[in-house]
Amino acid sequence: MRLENKTALVTGGTSGIGRCVVERFRAEGADVVFTGRRTGLGHDIAGTTGARFIEADAGSEADAERTVGETLGTHGRIDILMNNAGAPAPAGRLEELPLDGFDQAIQVHVRGALAHMKYAAPAMRAQGSGSIINVGSVAGHRAGYSSSMIYAIAKSAVIHMTRCAAMELGEDGVRVNSISPGGIATGIFAKSLGMDTEEADSTTEKVKGALATIQAIPRAGLTDDIASAAVYLGSDEAGFVNGEDMVIDGGLIWGRRHSEVMKGGGTWSHLFE
């Protein structure tokens, strides 16, 4: 019950990481409000978890203002804001990239998160406490970890926006951190290939095998791995953590697996044989 007596607002809570976070936050004792665009699914999740669902587009400033206002109207406070909502972005060579796709990615990942922080910040400042958690990506740290340059740019912006906000809000007792997932088994990979949302969400088990081979830890990342980090950052245990980006990737961005290196004898000598 590490989040007992806390109120949390989670965007994009109807599937993948967001849904797992909603379930974990509730299990840890928080009152949870979550948003999404799939009304039926949102109400189903609300019914099984006891969380409250608000239909909203996380990239809309008007919806962000309404969502924060309704949360404050119901609970009187916001202790945790998790900007989780996201979507795939167009891939392709630089000269082929559609700039309207860039605008859409920035709207959801960056502008949407900024809007929710904008409207939640006054209440958190007045409380003298709060935890904002933004979702970045390993693609925001290193080039080559997303098929979409646009997605990588957006996530890099989220990570730096987190640090900027942390330096301002930290003075009022409000912590701002981000989590950068690696290869997490969700439907986002299928969505990036053009599958509709319902079909994509059913592919999670299929991608686990492929994701198990890309980092030192020999399994796919799970939504629960990210939710565990979110519980920590939202709890009082993380009371002195501010401006950090927690990379949860099994070691993906830090180098090649040892076994891959040793296939070549562990040296470059094989190149000259």
Q: Tell me if 128 is assigned to some domain.
A: yes
Does residue 40 lie in a domain region?
yes
pLDDT score, position 193: 53
Q: Residue 50: what pLDDT?
A: 97
Residue 191: per-residue pLDDT: 56
- Is 144:164 a contact under the CB 8 Å cutoff? no
Number of domains in the chain: 1
Say if 223 falls within a structural domain.
yes
Residue 138 lies in a domain: yes
* Radius of gyration of the chain measured on its C-alpha atoms: 19
Using CA atoms, how far apart are residues 152 and 158, in angstroms rounded to an integer?
Answer: 10
For residue 210, the model assigns a pLDDT of: 83
Question: What tokens were used for 195?
Answer: 């599958």
pLDDT at 86: 94
**pLDDT on residue 244:** 98
- 207 in any annotated domain: yes
For residue 94, is it within any domain? Answer: yes
What pLDDT was estimated at residue 260? 84
- Which amino acids are annotated catalytic? 151
The three-state DSSP-derived secondary structure of the chain is CCCCCCEEEECCCCCHHHHHHHHHHHHCCCEEEEEECCHHHHHHHHHHHCCEEEECCCCCHHHHHHHHHHHHHHHCCCCEEEECCCCCCCCCCHHHCCHHHHHHHHHHHHHHHHHHHHHHHHHHHHHCCEEEEEECCHHHCCCCCCCCHHHHHHHHHHHHHHHHHHHHHHHHCEEEEEEEECCECCCHHHHHCCCCHHHHHCCHHHHHHHHCCCCCCCCCECHHHHHHHHHHHHCHHHCCCCCCEEEECCCHHHCCCHHHHHCCCCCCHHHHC
129 within some domain: yes
- pLDDT for res 273: 57
**CATH code assigned at 32:** 3.40.50.720
Q: What is the pLDDT along the chain (273 residues), one digit of tens a residue?
A: 999 999 999 999 999 999 999 999 999 999 999 999 999 999 999 999 999 999 999 999 999 999 999 999 999 999 999 999 999 999 999 999 999 999 999 999 999 999 999 999 999 999 999 999 999 999 999 999 999 999 999 999 999 999 999 999 999 999 999 999 999 988 656 555 555 666 655 667 777 888 888 999 999 999 999 999 999 999 999 999 999 999 999 999 999 888 888 876 666 555 555
Determine, yes or no, domain membership for 1.
no
Residue with tokens 């608000």: 54
The pLDDT value recorded for residue 207 is 79
Q: Is the pTM of this model over 0.85?
A: yes
Domain of residue 199, residue span: 7-272
